[in-house]
């Protein structure tokens, strides 16, 4: 039976042979009937199959008899591909079809799974639009990017709110310049760029919300927009202020700062610098002020190194740039201020003097008291009970408070004390009050650094101010603008007189 049916169909298609008269008349009637129905024609392949022809005829009659106002079911009516299924396409974003400027959407090859548009985009189907966004199962595929100057489905221009991850080519197209000009602008190579061009580029960057891809830049150049800062301990508020000043200076060069506390440990500094070099930092600033800087010289061939708080003549390695305040002049000015007030016996309180800056301050103190012909006593606080911090950077307040008793019981009976830094001076002040001594009625007190706690101390602390921001600017310039680096720069301290110093008590 099947062979006979196939033979009849083949005969009808090829025109060879004849069909039975009764079947031929029935086919002619069916063909005429279907051709009279508007918009419905039986496929030629169905002419020889009465079953398929009958089904097609029933569907056509159901459509015709449903009426215009209440259309009947249309099982074979083509539906847009985005409405064919309630299921959501879960393919990756790279497979999402982008519709060009077409009047009708094109059905992509979804292999059994269908896509549907987000509700806000369904209204735009059938209009001219450059792209279509689809919804996935648990996330939304990002809106596919198109060149600048094109508009989205809503007709709005491309802005940072209507696009994702603009590229440097988009900024160049919107600003009307080349991508190389955008690169020069982002890398501060604007020596020959006109001001109006800079303004257009800046406006395009802000309009598109463009952000350079630092990961790609680092892969291409091997250098990150980052500067490493190594400080003894952030527990000392001076180094916290230094970190803020370095960050402010680096921001002018579009760089960031990574700060580490190394506790003046050469092995720890060596390990941190190895990580920073692997990351690709542009340079390293260290504030350890160690006498042995061999571990710093080992990395100068790979990036610039700036040693903070070290004088040029104290540094044996010429490749290490030095930035420092004149530490000897700081203690000398403190002694001169106290001598002017009438003090004849002064004590200098310091943690273990293992670092170059502390040694410089001790030297300036000794030279000043010798020149004034007065008594000077050196009080070295004991930091041996802290094996993890032999320099005492994390316990400066406690060291100063414990040293107060040694000042009071000293045979030299000092009427004034100079602390090696402000954190120790604040500790000394607390310790003297606990021992019943008044500042400055019984003993005057001077610090060095001028951290913001000095003004809050009771009484406000007289101190020698370090120009932190100026020194931070010079250190950053040595790394990011080496053509104008102030190597060996030595900054003068400034005496800030407050209420903690006065004339000595009368015997």
pTM of the model: 0.62
> What are 226's strand-pairing partners?
256
In the structure encoding, which two tokens stand for residue 452, read together?
A: 């913001």
pLDDT at 131: 40
In the structure encoding, which two tokens stand for residue 17, read together?
A: 């042979």
pLDDT at 387: 62
Dist. CA 297–CA 317, nearest whole Å: 7
pLDDT at 153: 36
* 136 neighbors 96 (Cβ within 8 angstroms): no
- The hierarchical CATH code for the domain 327-466 is 3.40.50.2300
* 214 neighbors 225 (Cβ within 8 angstroms): yes
**Helix H segments across 187-236?**
195-208, 214-221
101-153 pLDDT per residue, tens: 333 344 444 444 444 444 444 444 433 333 433 333 333 333 333 334 444 33
Phi, psi for residue 149 in degrees, rounded to 5: 95, -25
User: Among candidates 288, 309, 296, which has minimal Cα distance to 233?
Assistant: 288
Note if the bond before 273 is cis, omega within 30 degrees: no
Q: What are the CA-CA distances from residue 207 to residues 174, 256, 316 (Å)? A: 9, 24, 52
Task: Calculate the CA 398 to chain-centre distance.
Answer: 37
Average pLDDT per 10 consecutive residues for the chain, totaling 507 residues: 58 52 57 49 50 68 54 47 44 41 41 43 40 38 39 42 72 92 83 89 90 68 82 93 96 92 92 90 92 86 90 73 94 97 97 93 97 95 77 93 95 96 96 96 97 93 96 92 73 96 91
pLDDT at 167: 87
Q: Which CATH superfamily does the domain covering 145-212 fall into?
A: lambda repressor-like DNA-binding domains (1.10.260.40)
pLDDT at 52: 67
User: Among candidates 285, 329, 327, which has minimal Cα distance to 307?
Assistant: 285
- For the chain, where do the domains classified as CATH 3.40.50.2300 start and end? 220-325, 327-466
pLDDT at 18: 52
Task: Calculate the CA 434 to chain-centre distance.
Answer: 47
147-162 pLDDT per residue, tens: 344 443 334 444 444 4
- Residue bearing tokens 């070295």: 380
**Helix H segments across 178-326?**
179-186, 195-208, 214-221, 237-251, 266-279, 294-297
Task: Decide yes or no: CATH 3.40.1160.10 for domain 220-325.
Answer: no
- For the chain, where do the domains classified as CATH 1.10.260.40 start and end? 145-212
């Amino acid at each position: 039976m099947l062979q006979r049916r196939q033979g009849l169909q083949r005969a009808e298609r090829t025109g060879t042979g004849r069909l039975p008269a009764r079947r031929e008349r029935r086919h002619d009637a069916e063909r005429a009937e279907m051709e009279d129905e508007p918009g419905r024609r039986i496929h030629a392949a169905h002419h020889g199959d009465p079953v398929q022809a009958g089904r097609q005829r029933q569907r056509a009659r159901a459509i015709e008899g449903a009426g215009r106002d209440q259309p009947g079911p249309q099982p074979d009516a083509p539906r847009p591909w985005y409405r064919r299924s309630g299921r959501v396409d879960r393919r990756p974003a790279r497979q999402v079809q982008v519709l060009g400027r077409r009047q009708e959407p094109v059905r992509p090859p979804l292999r059994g799974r269908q896509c549907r548009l987000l509700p806000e985009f369904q209204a735009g189907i059938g209009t001219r639009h450059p792209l279509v966004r689809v919804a996935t199962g648990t996330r939304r595929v990002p809106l596919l990017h198109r060149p600048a100057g094109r508009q989205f489905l809503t007709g709005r221009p491309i802005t940072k709110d209507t696009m994702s991850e603009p590229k440097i080519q988009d900024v160049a197209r919107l600003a009307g310049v080349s991508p190389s000009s955008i690169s020069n602008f982002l890398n501060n190579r604007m020596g020959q760029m006109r001001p109006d061009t800079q303004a257009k580029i800046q406006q395009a960057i802000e309009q598109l919300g463009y952000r350079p891809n630092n990961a790609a830049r680092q892969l291409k150049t091997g250098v990150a927009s980052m500067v490493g800062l190594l400080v003894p301990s952030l527990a000392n508020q001076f180094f916290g202020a230094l970190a803020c000043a370095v960050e402010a200076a680096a921001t002018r060069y579009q760089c960031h700062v990574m700060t580490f506390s190394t506790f003046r440990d050469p092995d720890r500094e060596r390990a941190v610098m190895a990580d920073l070099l692997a990351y690709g930092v542009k340079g390293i600033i260290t504030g350890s002020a160690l006498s042995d800087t061999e571990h710093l010289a080992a990395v100068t061939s790979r990036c610039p190194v700036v040693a903070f708080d070290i004088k040029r003549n104290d540094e044996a390695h010429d490749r290490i740039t030095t930035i420092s305040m004149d530490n000897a002049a700081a203690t000398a000015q403190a002694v001169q201020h106290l001598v002017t007030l009438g003090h004849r016996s002064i004590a200098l309180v310091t943690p273990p003097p293992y670092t170059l800056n502390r040694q410089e301050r001790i030297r300036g103190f000794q030279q000043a008291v010798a020149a004034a012909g007065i008594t000077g006593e050196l009080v070295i606080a004991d930091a041996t009970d802290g094996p993890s911090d032999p320099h005492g950077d994390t316990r400066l307040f406690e060291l100063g408070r414990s040293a107060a008793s040694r000042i009071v019981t000293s045979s030299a009976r000092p009427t004034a004390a100079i602390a090696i830094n402000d954190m120790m001076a604040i500790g000394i002040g607390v310790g003297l009050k606990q021992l019943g001594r008044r500042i400055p009625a019984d003993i005057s007190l001077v610090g060095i650094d001028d951290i913001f706690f000095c003004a809050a101390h009771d009484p406000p602390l007289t101190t020698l101010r370090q120009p932190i921001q100026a020194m931070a600017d010079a250190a950053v310039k040595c790394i990011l603008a080496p053509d104008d680096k102030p190597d060996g720069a030595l900054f003068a301290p400034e005496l800030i007189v407050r209420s903690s110093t006065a004339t000595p008590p009368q015997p």
